[in-house]
Amino acid sequence: MAMMEEMEPMDRWTTMMHGYAFLSANRQGGPSGEREFESENHFLLVSSKLWAGGKLSLLGTFTLEPATIPPRGSAELFQRGETYHGVLLVDRQHPHDLFVQLGASWERVLAFGTKLRLSLAPLGEPALGPVAYPHRVSASENPTAPLSHHYQDSTHIAADVATVGLEAGIFTLEGSAFHGREPDENRWDIEQGRLDSWSGRLTARPTRELSFQISSGHLEHPESAEPGNQTRSTASVTYQKTTAGGFIAATAIAGRNRTKDGPEWGNLLEWTWKFAGKNFLYGRLESVDRDLYELINKRQRPGNVPRERTLVQAGTLGFVRDVSWFGNVETGLGGDVTLYSFTSRLDSVYGRRPVSLHGFIRIRFGSHSGMSDIDHSHMSMQGMAQPPKSPPMPGQPKEMDHSKMSMPGMDAPAQKAKAPSVSSGEKEMSRGSHQTSTRDPVCGKEVGASSTYKATYQGKTYYFCSRADREKFFSDPTAYVNR
């Protein structure tokens, strides 16, 4: 993931850890709603080092949701996807598997400033869709999965993913092969399958704050309860900017699944605004196609029943306030309300005006909890993770992907110079024998120690004029340190 992309590689392993959890009281309104206490959570480990002239990264993302969310899923009106006891989940969001992502990636700078990335993941994220919702900064305070999830980014938990990517300037082009079937009902195992599906994605990042992506892919029989294949196409735009009191992040996504029954759309606009240092205002607006039979009967529509689509719209508004309860653990108290719009033919099933509520405690922790406005892009290249609702980190299609993790550091843009790869051992070195060089070893120019771009190699810190120079240094440090 982008997080791996941002870590500064060294000649020994550097490891980072992040985690987040929501302890939620969930009340879904109307006749189809239920009340539950549950926890959405994720934990991420990533390690990087210099290897074979480039940067090698290993990633693992895990969750205890199989134990903290009911087996039949978390109550969520109008949600659908995956199964429980062989029956399609309707008005339920499935828990993630214990092993969310496991994988490795390698990247190296080539000629003319281009960069090659390769990734292999027994469980990971192919180049399809925007940054997955658990890792989007724009969704980082929202404990609920989007209703449009299965039209946009549900492949973030795919099995056996192989991805190749090439970055040149503001553009990144990626292609993936993977197993298209979604996970089965056993949430504790690691599933495998043949590479029967494929995808491609083009990402453009014209400015530091703005990124665009378009992608499309063929999914081989993704739904166990729904026969046939899908062609998924998505487009999205993401804006993220650090502000004096925090940050603002917003994402707009259009997703379409084409099946034998025709196209189905799922679109959203979501945002998170951190202000005054401790306050978060977040929201989400969605418009999704749903099957009328499924919503009424709470199961998959039989093949002999004609398709009848209906439009469902939902709007969520929420607020979180950070509180200082546990030292280095970032804790917040929050809640949200969701309203809906749908056809009157569903009034007998959902009520005329159902209202859904969440109240929760949110915690974030780890060695990178308090990150600055790190660029969460290329998550897919990490092929493994856009850390499931994990701490905000650089990610996929160039946006802060690992969300749900803490972001207090975003209040101070200058802190970005604090490289996350500094280990405790290096901190000790900085008190004694640690050396620095303020001359860019690549271009030879003198650089101030306040430069954002730096790297540590064999106990010495080097500063660079640009990110491109730092990447050249990473590709072959020995060619520059003896100059």
Query: pLDDT at position 323, please?
Result: 95
- Does a structural domain hold residue 43? yes
Contact 232, 198 (CB under 8 A): no
Query: How far apart are the C-alpha atoms of 273 and 284, rounded to whole Å?
Result: 12
pLDDT 10s digits, 21-68: 999 999 999 999 999 999 999 999 999 999 998 999 999 999 999 999
Q: 454 with 404, same domain?
A: no
Judgement on whether residues 329 and 444 belong to the same structural domain of the protein: no
Residue 280 corresponds to which tokens in the numbers above?
Answer: 């978060």
Give the 3-state secondary structure of residue 408. helix
Whether the Cβ atoms of residue 331 and residue 353 lie closer than 8 Å to each other: no
**Do 98 and 63 touch, CB atoms closer than 8 A?**
yes
245-259 b/e (C-beta count within 10 Å ≥ 16 → b)? ebbbbbbbbbbbbeb
Domain containing residue 469: 424-481
The answer to whether residues 347 and 445 belong to one domain is: no
Of 482, 418, 430, 424, the residue nearest 6 (C-alpha): 418
Q: Are 421 and 14 in contact, with CB atoms under 8 Å apart?
A: yes
Q: Are 405 and 474 contained in the same domain?
A: no
Considering the domain boundaries, does residue 415 fall inside one? no
For the chain, how many residues are written? Answer: 483
Is position 258 within any domain? Answer: yes
**How distant, in Å, are the alpha carbons of 147, 240, 312, 346, 429 from that of 293?**
17, 39, 14, 10, 65
Structural domain includes residue 111 = yes
pLDDT score, position 409:
36
Give the count of beta carbons closer than 10 Å to the beta carbon of residue 449: 11
Same domain, 455 and 403: no
- Tell me how many domains the chain contains: 2
Domain annotation covers residue 203 = yes
Please say whether the beta carbons of 57 and 104 come within 8 A.
yes
What is the Cα–Cα distance from 271 to 214, expressed in whole angstroms? 20
The DSSP H or E segment spanning 6 is helix 2-6
Q: Are 352 and 279 members of one domain? A: yes
CA–CA gap between residue 363 and residue 375 (Å, rounded) = 22
- Reference 334, options 386, 400, 282; nearest CA is 282
Tell me if 295 sits within 8 A of 324, measured CB to CB: no
Q: Where a domain ends, among 410, 442, 468? A: 410
* CA 106/CA 479 separation, integer angstroms: 20
Euclidean distance between CA atoms 262 and 474, whole angstroms: 48
* Residue 273: half-sphere exposure toward Cβ, Cα within 13 Å: 7
| Residue from 398, 309, 438 nearest 127 by CA | 398
Those residues with Cβ within 8 angstroms of residue 336's Cβ, 6 or more apart along the chain or in another chain: 142, 144, 282, 316, 317, 318, 319, 357, 358
Of 361, 384, 410, which one is at a domain's C-terminal end? Answer: 410
Q: Residues 186, 153: one domain?
A: yes
Q: 432 with 349, same domain?
A: no
**Claim to verify: residue 143 and residue 233 sit in the same structural domain:** yes
Alpha carbon separation from 455 to 1, 156, 366, 461, 474 (Å, rounded): 19, 31, 22, 6, 8
Cα diameter, the chain: 77
Residue 51 sits in a domain whose CATH number is: 2.40.160.10
Query: Low-confidence residues of the chain, pLDDT below 50?
Result: 1, 368-434
Determine how many CB atoms are found less than 10 A away from the CB of residue 327. Answer: 8
- Kindly write down the DSSP assignment for every residue of 283-311, as one continuous string: EEEEEEEEEHHHHHHSSPPPTTSPP-EEE
Q: What CA–CA distance (Å, rounded) separates 151 from 440?
A: 46
Q: Are strands 87-93 and 74-84 parallel, antiparallel or unpaired?
A: antiparallel
Phi, then psi, of 380 in degrees rounded to 5: -60, -35
Q: What is the pLDDT of residue 366?
A: 83
Residues 431 and 326 in one domain: no
289: β partners? 311
Q: Which letter does DSSP use for residue 477 in this model?
A: T
- Tokens 């749900």 belong to 404
**Are 362 and 452 within one domain?**
no
Give Cα 221 to chain centroid, integer Å.
Answer: 24
Rounded Cα–Cα distance for residues 389 and 384 (Å): 13
pLDDT at position 7, please? 58
Residue 226 in 3-state DSSP? coil
Q: Among all chains, which residue has been given the structure tokens 């109008």?
A: 78
pLDDT at residue 446 in the model: 83
Q: How far apart are CA 76 and CA 413, in angstroms?
A: 37
Residues 307 and 213 in one domain: yes
Q: Give the Cα separation of 229 and 249 in Å (integer).
A: 34
Residue 419 covered by a domain: no
Q: Is residue 417 a part of any domain in this protein?
A: no
Residue 50 lies in a domain: yes
Nearest to 330 by CA among 245, 403, 250: 403
Please say which residue of 388, 410, 432 terminates a domain. 410
CB 356 within 8 A of CB 93: no
Pairing of strands 355-366, 394-395: unpaired
